[in-house]
Amino acid sequence: MFRPCSARIAKSKPARYDQSGEGPLTPCAPYPTEEKQMEESILLENDFEYAFKFRKTEKRFNRLWGMKSSARESLKDWLIASDINPKVSEVCANACSELIENCVKFSKNDSTAVVSINVSDRSITVETINKAEKEHRETVSREIEALNAASDPRQVFAEKLLNPVEGKSQLGIIKISMETKGKLELVQEPDEEVVRMKLEMKAE
């Protein structure tokens, strides 16, 4: 009756970037029948998926920025309700908040950003997909490379603090790495303007 864990992980599908804004966030599976639900109740008790998308426009900027804190608090509560340790839930929600912030700040006007959070087995995956200027994607790529090359993210954090760039924080990605101890990745996409960030962190 029990499927191996790998099957459960394979079931989790990443958020799909949908520039039209019309399609679903993730591929939808048919709603399970009652019998199927009972059969899977133990397998699924810790699984969780939370996803949303929004269209960024100049006019909406302040309202979208304000939604960040609502999304953070809501996500933290959902994770706790899904039996994730409150401390881990807080760390994940804060990291997600930084990633949403980047989507609101750097997404091109009139483009759609997608945010998804999956809990599967013992890990949490946060994925954001948005369309931004090519230069932004290159900056993110350089920041992740510097982070991966450093033996301690605090070194990179300290360097960034000492060498500020006017009008830019440049600390978000490093802050996420330091606080979550997770793995950050810029997933390659054929479209040079699509920024697909993936954070994987332990759920316990």
Partner 1 sequence: MNHSETGFDIRLTGNILSFSGNLEKSDYSKIDAFLKKVDQTLNADTCKINLKRLSFLNSSGIRSIATFILGSSKRFKIQINNDITWQSESIPTLAYLRPDRIEIMS
Nearer to partner 1, 28 or 162 (CB): 162
> Binding string to partner 1 for residues 103 to 122, with x set by CB under 8 A, is what?
-xx-----------------
Strand partners, 116: 51, 127
Burial code (b: 16+ CB inside 10 Å, e: under 16) for 195-204 equals bbbbbebebe
Residue with tokens 């998308």: 53
CA angle 87, 126, 49 (to 5 degrees): 85
Please select the residue that binds partner 1; options are 49, 90, 133, 193, rule is CB under 8 A: 90
DSSP category for residue 32? P
User: Alpha helix locations (H) across 12-60?
Assistant: 34-44
Total binding residues toward partner 1, as defined by CB under 8 A? 27
Q: What tokens appear for 58 in the block?
A: 């100049």
DSSP category for residue 149? H
Site stretch for partner 1 (CB under 8 A), options 30-38, 41-49, 87-95, 141-149: 87-95
Please select the residue that binds partner 1; options are 179, 189, 193, 200, rule is CB under 8 A: 179
Told to check if 91 binds partner 1 by CB under 8 A, we report yes
Residues in touch with partner 1 (CB under 8 A): 61, 65, 68-69, 72, 87, 90-91, 94, 97-98, 101, 104-105, 154, 157-158, 161-162, 164, 169-172, 175, 178-179
